[in-house]
Amino acid sequence: MNTKNPPRFYALTVSGAVYVAELTEIEGEHHPPYLKKLAQVGSEGSKTPVGCIIDNGTMISIGRNLVLFVPEGGGLSSYQRDSSLCNTRYHGGSTSSIIALALTKERIDEIAAEWVAKPSHLDDWPDLRWKTDTIEVLRAVGDDHPRCSITEHYIPGRLMERSDWVPAEERLEELSRKHGIVMVAGGSRASEENAPVA
């Protein structure tokens, strides 16, 4: 299965809510992006009713929770994809803190059943038992999804570092561009514009 730019992903939150984050158009369905509550698991419940749709934004941000937002702010003509850097007036609805993310409904159902059997506490979010599943979603979303972004400022280091979900080649390219280094076979060299003056 090609998972780059997934059409949807699923989330389990600390309140026991299971959501689908719908990112692509489905004929006859609500216009994306949106979050839809699919189920309520566990004894502590979210007050959001099952079937509720959260759709007040043009992008979904993944961080401590899922947030709908409008990617603006920070200037007259800026396009800010990081919801933590946008003025909160551009934020729409959100979920409670994330326990885990998954690419399939079947997997989030398995995670929810495991979580009900042994719940996490508020201090344990996101739960490291499902770190691999969460990283799989973050890798699939990546840095350039048209309707979803990752808000690194809200992802705690104990869950993951950027290096956990961004492939090494992409990180190397980012650093090369940032520091003006041109990659060549067998090594690297400084670009002419950043080369030291003799």
pLDDT band at 108 (very low <50, low <70, confident <90, very high): very high
Provide the residue ranges of all domains of the chain, joining segments of one domain with +.
8-165, 167-198
Calculate the CA dihedral of residues 50, 145, 148, 137 and round it to 10 degrees.
60
Note the pLDDT tens digit of each residue in 12-30. Answer: 998 899 999 998 877 766 6
Quote the pTM value: 0.76
Instruction: Output the six-digit token pair for 51.
Output: 């079937």
Residues 115-152: tens digit of each pLDDT: 999 887 666 666 788 988 988 998 888 878 888 888 86
